[in-house]
Structure 1
């Protein structure tokens, strides 16, 4: 049942559901603007210590992401922990648009200039976040919103790390496996360059409608990400410029030191096409 209010926010409707909670459209009566509320339900099979760990991580990650202020990043307005053992939520900028996952499902093959513009905007947003010490850790099409004006908005900064608490399945990978960098899969230390690998996977998929590392199950996919070369994109698309292939090759390097070191570098190469 949808609540009428959360904190000071008036609930207008439900925008979607996730594994950890619900996203609501709401109104902030103090400022009079619409916001999206992303809730995190805590009241299930968790002991006091787990709840305390989750709450601490939630607040730390949400506050870290809350410092970000960039045209290509969904702005966080408020972080609320009601302290009742039930609900934490983030109030964020409400963006009208379509996420890239939905767009790809509808349109299949996308035009090259459109793909280049979208991915360059994502790289801009990531570069800014990385300059502030914030790593996304779950860059994927479902976390990229495209407005009617073709402006990109990255959402869910820090959320993957929040979901990595003991409330998740033991041993569960942090992030979405198809888009994860090799070092993420291997459980190694992860920095901003993992986000740029994930962006390379997205670029490949937007261009070809296929993922660069495929397999019949998760075990095969993750093994290929760590050990195998990606499937040559010209197997699916015959007319990609050589410069695009070079960008993909650099973004999808197994060794982070051989990848793009900054989002701005990747954006520059994309816009030079």
Structure 2
């Protein structure tokens, strides 16, 4: 049944290939499917015309069946706003977001790499080398520490939401279900004291 659903989604989503979103982002291929969104490789016509060495971006698009649901559209917009607040080398950059007709989209930097989930699968049965894993974990912790310092909690951290470049550079993805942690340190300390 899962294969059938994936196949149908591919047919539906392949309709976007060749389309241009917001007269700027030319969709070339599909990079992946998620629960609510699909991610495409797109060429940014403005970057291309400016002579950019890499005019490619990742275009995250809300699947059509969810576009009419206000809560899912709000979640995509919240992801864009939360991620735009985060300027860190280990957090994916969001450049743009919006709506073009019935297409709700988010434009992110394109990372040519693989997910940590894929790397873990590929490294079985021996597992990852200690120093490589330590480097990956340190980069993830740096990104999370930075996000937490701004009051943003990822809330969906998993190997599929971590991408690595061939050089081993880590980027955290998918802040879609992130939460703004608003409790202040003093409030937390006071709450802890009353619980003790």
Which range, TM-score by smaller chain? 0.7 to 0.9
C-alpha separation in 2, matches of 1:120 and 1:80: 33
C-alpha separation in 1, matches of 2:111 and 2:79: 21
Residue aligning to 1:35: 57
Residue 80 of structure 1 aligns to a residue whose secondary structure is strand
The question of whether the paired residues in 1 share the 8 Å contact of 2:114 and 2:163 is answered with yes
What 5-or-longer segments of structure 1 have no aligned partner?
162-188, 193-256, 258-273
Name which of 72, 90, 106 aligns with 2:122. Answer: 106
Is 1:3 the counterpart of 2:17? The answer is yes
The question of whether the paired residues in 1 share the 8 Å contact of 2:41 and 2:56 is answered with yes
Residue aligning to 2:29: 13
Residue 30 of structure 1 aligns to a residue whose secondary structure is helix
Residue aligning to 2:146: 128
C-alpha separation in 1, matches of 2:79 and 2:37: 17
Residue aligning to 1:164: none
Alignment length (residue pairs): 159
C-alpha separation in 2, matches of 1:59 and 1:44: 13
Give, in angstroms, the shift of residue 136 of structure 1.
0.9
Over 3 Å counting, the alpha-carbon distance change for 1:129 and 1:43 in structure 2 is same
The question of whether the paired residues in 2 share the 8 Å contact of 1:21 and 1:40 is answered with yes
Is 1:72 the counterpart of 2:90? The answer is yes
Higher strand share: 2
Give me the TM-score of the superposition, normalised by structure 1. 0.53
Residue 152 of structure 2 aligns to a residue whose secondary structure is coil
What RMSD over aligned residues (CA atoms) do the two structures have, in Å? Answer: 2.3
Q: Which runs of 4+ in 1 moved over 6 A?
A: none
C-alpha separation in 2, matches of 1:133 and 1:44: 28
What 5-or-longer segments of structure 2 have no aligned partner?
1-14, 49-54, 183-191
Residue aligning to 2:107: 91
Give, in angstroms, the shift of residue 190 of structure 1.
8.9
Give, in angstroms, the shift of residue 45 of structure 1.
9.4
C-alpha separation in 1, matches of 2:145 and 2:40: 29
Give me the TM-score of the superposition, normalised by structure 2. 0.73
C-alpha separation in 1, matches of 2:84 and 2:107: 10
Is 1:24 the counterpart of 2:31? The answer is no
Residue aligning to 2:177: 160
C-alpha separation in 1, matches of 2:66 and 2:93: 29
Name which of 135, 139, 145 aligns with 1:117. Answer: 135
Residue 127 of structure 1 aligns to a residue whose secondary structure is helix
